[in-house]
Structure 1
Amino acid sequence: MIVLEFKLKGKAEQYRIIDDMIRTAQFIRNKTLRHWIDNQGIKLVDLYKQCAIMAKEFEWALKLNSMARQASAERAIFAIQRFFANCQAKIPGKKGYPQFKRHTRSVEYKTSGWALSPDKRCLTFKDGFAAGKFKLVGSRDLHFYAPDEIKRIRVIRRADGYYAQICINVERKEEFVPTGKAIGIDVGLNHFYTDSDGETVPNPRYLRKSEKALKRLQKRVSQKKKGSKNRKKAINKLGRKHLKVSRQRKDFAVKTAWCVVKSSDFVAYENLQVRNMVKNHKLAKSISDAAWSQFAQWLEYFGKVYGKTVIAIPPQYTSQECSNCGNPVKKTLSTRTHICGCGAVLDRDHNAARNILVKGFKQAKINLNTVGHTGIHAGGQTDLYSLVVASTSKSTGRS
């Protein structure tokens, strides 16, 4: 499944209709959740029937396409299923009990209620709201995909306009090009990451760089009268600035992950529990700004697309063990240089990246016939077993 995003270009009245569509979807989602709360023990499949009941009970809800109403009900069902799954898994802390939504920003259509123009440059909504035709603004070409391959269309309201995300049921695969390289990656705050070869990528710190402008825009919002048009304009400017920062962060994570996967056959990265780490209020902002989780997600994605092996390694003891002799060398977080009695002296993150590479190789359990969990060319375009052994020996200095 791939997702192509386009900006919707239309008239102001059409945008107001989209807002009504989004509010209706939110209403159906909340009513579905309320029905589940009031009728404990009912099957989740029965919640789909509430969509037809609500359409008869509320005339304005009937305007929304039937499949769009089902998609709204699915949001409540997914929240309920996630809650039960967390309870069964005995996840510590809050289990995520489903909550009512107040600020929904999207509505989702399935395979009906919309139509693409013959040149596939315009999108028309055909349900009772009659939002009309919108021009699709974007660089991607929909002519490569058949109409029946489009499974869902999600309309999203953002600070800088309205967007359509088109979900296409196509598996993306790129040609496997062996590079003969294996690396381990240790992420951090001083550098975005340090690999097992000692190379570093600087941390862009987009939020820190925009913090002064964000504070100024936030101050303008607080100075405006609540409910006034000037306050809405100030909120919109603040939202646009936050949106720009999030887009910069995502663009950096995507491009960096793509370069790592393209240049290596085997990637082992540090699988940090970011949710727990941000509880440290002194580092929470810097950790969130680094976007380690987003980087890891794109590493896994590009690994599958390009047929490369990408392994997530637990971070325990990767910084404390010596990558040369394996003996533990205890150090505090402020100690940035690894010094071992065996004579190894190197940067703390470089030492951790070497350990991550070794542990990644052990966890992969590679043999000559099957390569990794991503299914890399088991036919044998490259002998990854020998590749990782050679890279490990080179990076650790072992013979």
Structure 2
Amino acid sequence: MLLYEDKVSGSRQQDAAIDEAIRIVQFIRNKSLRLWMEQRGTSKNDVQTNCAVLAKAYPFASRLNSQARQASASRAWFAISRFYEHCKNNQPGKKGYPTFQHHNRSVEYKTSGWKLDADGRHSIFTDGCGIGRLKLVENKQQSIETFPIKAIKRVRLVRRADGYSVQFCLKTERKVEHVPTGRKMGIDVGLKAYLTDSEGNTIENPRHSRKAEKKLARLQRRLSRKQKQSANRKKARKALAKQHLKVQRQREDVARTVANASVSSCDLIAYEDLQIRNMVKNHKLAKSIHDAGWGIFLQWVKRYALLHGIPVIAVAPHFTSQKCSECGTIVKNRSVFAPMFVLAVE
């Protein structure tokens, strides 16, 4: 699946209609979850058929497209099935028991309830929510009109701090022709250096959250001083959310750029399989680990490696420390990259 995203421009009435559709999605998901909690042995089919019952019982729910209601119920069942899977696999820690949603931000349509305008620059939503015709703020790199309509399997409206966006989920095969370089590289993520490879090259940690820390603190103080449920508080909350969104996008942009460059220049990548979930439990390092974004970087490495068709090896972190636990001496023969290349050669 390929995800194509465009920002949309609409009137205040259309923005309110999108918010109403998002609230209906949240309502149906929570009702589906309530059905599973109250009736033992509820199946996926029971959750899906309950959508028609909800549409008859609640007139406002019937305004949402029927396939969008089905997609909402599928979200609830996804949370349920994930909980079952974690219990079956005896995953350590919390199993992720499904909880009710309070801040949903998207509504998803399948093959009906929407259509593209003939000019390819507008998207029309035809269900009873009254969203209507939305202008697409075109992506400079590529336009959605270049893709066949049949390839679009899902359309999603997303609300973010800086406005609304529409996402088109395209069923297509994407593969990059990899140019062999003969390099086998081990990578190590860290806090001082964002990335260190087996050749000794390092990339400086950008520390986006640390750089924006003062501005975020100022915006947070401004928000706390505003009266609850006032218009000024909504403005302050929106300003804070925009700054957090900016930091998030900066972090992801760096992760994608570095991951793409690493995969393009190697024929094999090995990385230290760190348990990030356990590491962030250290309150002294949690903020810095989240700021570095190890998890999202490794996700993009795996995605780009899949496109290029090169292997990515996760190496257990045992015996990879370079410092002696007693005297602190650097022991070179216990380098973090040594076990990586043993596996790479094998």
In the alignment, which of 215, 218, 221 is matched to residue 219 of structure 1? 221
Distance in 1 separating the partners of 2:119 and 2:277: 45
1:331 equivalent in alignment to 2:325:
yes
Asked if structure 2 preserves the Cα contact closer than 8 Å seen for 1:63 and 1:129, the reply is yes
2:278 paired residue number: 276
Q: State the distance in 1 between where 2:85 and 2:310 align.
A: 31
In structure 2, distance between residues paired with 1:148 and 1:94: 41
Residue 29 of structure 1 deviates from its aligned partner by 0.3
Percent identity between the two aligned chains: 50
Determine the structure 1 residue equivalent to 2:95.
95
Q: Which amino acid aligns with 1:85?
A: E
Matched residues in 1 for 2:203 and 2:338: separation?
A: 16
Deviation at 1:198, TM superposition (A): 0.6
Structure 1 segment 1-399 matched on structure 2, within 5 A: 1-137=1-137, 138-139=139-140, 140-320=142-322, 330-331=324-325, 335=328, 338-339=330-331, 351-362=335-346
Deviations 1:224-277, CA, capped at 9 Å, x for gaps: 000000000000000000000000000000000000001111111122111111
Query: For the pair shown, which has the larger CA radius of gyration, 1 or 2?
Result: 1
The residue identity in structure 1 corresponding to 2:185 is I
1:283 corresponds to which letter in structure 2? L
User: How many angstroms apart in 2 are the aligned matches of 1:308 and 1:359?
Assistant: 15
AA partner of residue 169 (structure 1): K
1:312 positional shift: 1.7
- Taking structure 1 as reference, are residues 106 and 361 closer, same or farther at Cα in structure 2, changes over 3 Å only? farther
Give yes or no for contact 1:86–1:95 (8 Å, CA) kept in 2: yes
Amino acid in structure 2 at the alignment position of 1:331: S
- Distance (whole Å) between structure 2 residues aligned to residue 90 and residue 361 of structure 1: 33
CA positional deviation for 1:119 = 2.6
Using the size of structure 2 for normalisation, the TM-score is 0.96
1:91-116 Cα deviation digits (max 9, x unpaired): 12211111001111111111110001
Number of corresponding residues? 344
Shift of residue 146 of structure 1? 1.1
Structure 1 range deviating more: 203-212 or 172-181? 172-181
Write the letter of the residue equivalent to 2:28.
Answer: I
Following TM superposition, by how much is the alpha carbon of 1:356 offset from its aligned partner in structure 2, in angstroms?
Answer: 2.3
Distance 1:69 1:314 in 2: 43
Q: Distance in 2 between matches of 1:92 and 1:173?
A: 36
Q: Secondary structure at the match of 2:179?
A: coil
Please state whether the residue corresponding to 1:162 is helix, strand or coil. strand
SS at match of 1:59: coil
- Quote the offset at 1:144 in angstroms: 3.2
| C-alpha contact (below 8 Å) 2:324/2:331 kept by paired residues | no
Query: Are the counterparts in 1 of residues 324 and 330 from structure 2 also a CA contact under 8 Å?
Result: no
Describe the SS at the equivalent of 1:173.
Answer: coil
Structure 2 unmatched ranges of 5 or more: none
Report the TM-score, using the length of structure 1 for normalisation: 0.83
Unaligned runs of 5+ in 1: 321-328, 363-399
Aligned partners of 2:40 and 2:331: how far apart in 1? 60
How far residue 300 of structure 1 moved from its aligned partner, in angstroms, is 0.6
Q: Deviations over 1:39-76 (max 9, x none)?
A: 11122211100100111111110000000000000011
1:89 Cα offset (Å): 0.6
1:319 to partner: Cα distance: 2.0
Give the whole-Å Cα distance in 2 for the aligned partners of 1:123 and 1:267.
41
1:127-152 alpha-carbon deviations (Å, 9 max, x no partner): 01121111111233223321111111
CA RMSD of aligned residues (A): 1.5
Task: Check the 8 A contact 1:195/1:354 in 2, yes or no.
Answer: no
Aligned AA for 1:190?
K
